Structure 1
Amino acid sequence: MVERVVKILIKNNIIHQQDSELYQYGLTLLIKKIFHIVTILLLGTICKKFICTAVFLVAYAGIRKYAGGYHAKSSKGCYACTGIVTSFSILLFYILEYVELFVIYIILGICAGAISTFSPQETSNRPLSREELTIYKKKTIKTLIIEGIICLLSLFFKEIINGIICAWVIETIMLLIGKGRQKT
């Protein structure tokens, strides 16, 4: 399917033949990302946690982009990891319904501290320069501040707070796993 789309783009002079592999790769990644997002939202909907799941996706994408953390080595591993993370997140949404707000804010503080400390985290596929490390650290902290303010302003919308706290808990775990793998 991706090859057909790229051939149509080439035929219509939208892209050049020499760029076909790059576009095939990009379209394949886009399709995988869309598949992941649709799967996660579908699971959230089935479990009656759509709002928490949607907020989680936005918050997690915002923080993960610059903070980094563990990455699976294959597409299958990535999809399996996504399934585990999604299942854990939905379970966490249900648990958080019974947790007092002050405890949630304590957990947010702990996660913010851990994310700030362990990020940005580079991977073997994507080493970061000193300048990138500095920029990503600042962007991670800025994202944490924005999402933290959203949590404070969402006092009466626990679905929003639960989505963000879940994103931070998962990102903290991914950073810790990534840190552990760097040592081995």
Structure 2
Amino acid sequence: MRKITARIVRFFIESKVIDETDQEIYEYGLEILIENVMLTVFLLLSGVMIGKGIETCIFLFSFCWLRRFCGGYHAKTKRGCHIATFITYIVFLLGIVAFYKVVNKYMFAIYFVCLLILIVYAPVQHKNKVLTESICKKNRIKAIGYTLLFGSIIYIFKFKLPMVSVAVLATLIEVALLMIIGRRENGD
């Protein structure tokens, strides 16, 4: 992977698109981008192959979008991050299948518990990425706002397409749990 990113960055340096002094930064960023795209494609293909393509798309979109603003547990390495993401996805799939009836029955109660966790904890900061008070406040407002939006989606789809509602709620549960784990890891 590093050889590929180094060649791409070298091409941009020779084309005078980027400055050579920033080579390491671009190589690192490109490597992360390519690995994340590969992981996303892998998860999407896995979901389609097991008949959970729509649920996988819902998970990936809502999970990645909400985690931007909520924070939570972060692995110590890129490999650890990819493994944790894959495990989170597997737990998501198993959860929506195994606990579908329970989650569907108590959907709104579970949603409000997740909303409460987000209201109390968002955003969970990481020691390697300390947020300014202003960004922290903006992320908090966005996290709560998007959770309310997802709550509306849960309500709208509950009766016509309940699996969509369950998939969104399962994602909220995972985000809330990762926030709790992240706070514990931070010693909060």
Tell me which interval the TM-score lies in, with the shorter structure as reference length: over 0.9
Residue 158 of structure 1: CA displacement? 2.0
Confirm whether residue 174 of structure 1 aligns to residue 171 of structure 2.
Answer: no
Q: TM-score, normalised by structure 2?
A: 0.91
The 1-side partners of 2:20 and 2:67 are apart by: 34
Whether the 8 Å contact between 1:49 and 1:93 is mirrored in structure 2 is no
Residue 131 of structure 1: CA displacement? 1.5
Residue 159 of structure 1: CA displacement? 2.8
CA 1:51–1:96 in structure 2 vs 1: closer, same or farther (change >3 Å)? farther
Residue 89 of structure 1: CA displacement? 0.6
Confirm whether residue 134 of structure 1 aligns to residue 137 of structure 2.
Answer: yes
Confirm whether residue 88 of structure 1 aligns to residue 91 of structure 2.
Answer: yes
Residue 182 of structure 1: CA displacement? 1.5
The equivalent of 2:165 in structure 1 is: 161
Question: What code does the residue aligned with 1:43 have?
Answer: S
Residue pairs, 1:108-127, within 5 angstroms: 108-127=111-130
Higher relative contact order (CA 8 A, sep 6+): 1
Whether the 8 Å contact between 1:59 and 1:163 is mirrored in structure 2 is no
Q: TM-score, normalised by structure 1?
A: 0.93
The 1-side partners of 2:109 and 2:165 are apart by: 13
Residue 43 of structure 1: CA displacement? 2.2
Residue pairs, 1:46-125, within 5 angstroms: 46-99=49-102, 101-125=104-128
The 1-side partners of 2:147 and 2:106 are apart by: 18
Question: What code does the residue aligned with 1:41 have?
Answer: L
Question: What code does the residue aligned with 1:13 have?
Answer: K
Residue 44 of structure 1: CA displacement? 1.4
Residue 12 of structure 1: CA displacement? 1.8
The 1-side partners of 2:114 and 2:80 are apart by: 25
Whether the 8 Å contact between 2:104 and 2:166 is mirrored in structure 1 is no
The equivalent of 1:183 in structure 2 is: 187
Flag structure 1 segments of 5+ consecutive residues without an equivalent: none
> 1:48-79: per-residue Cα shift (whole Å, max 9, x none)?
11111110111111210010000000112112
The equivalent of 2:23 in structure 1 is: 20
**What percent of counterpart residues are identical?**
24
The 2-side partners of 1:100 and 1:160 are apart by: 12
Confirm whether residue 37 of structure 1 aligns to residue 33 of structure 2.
Answer: no
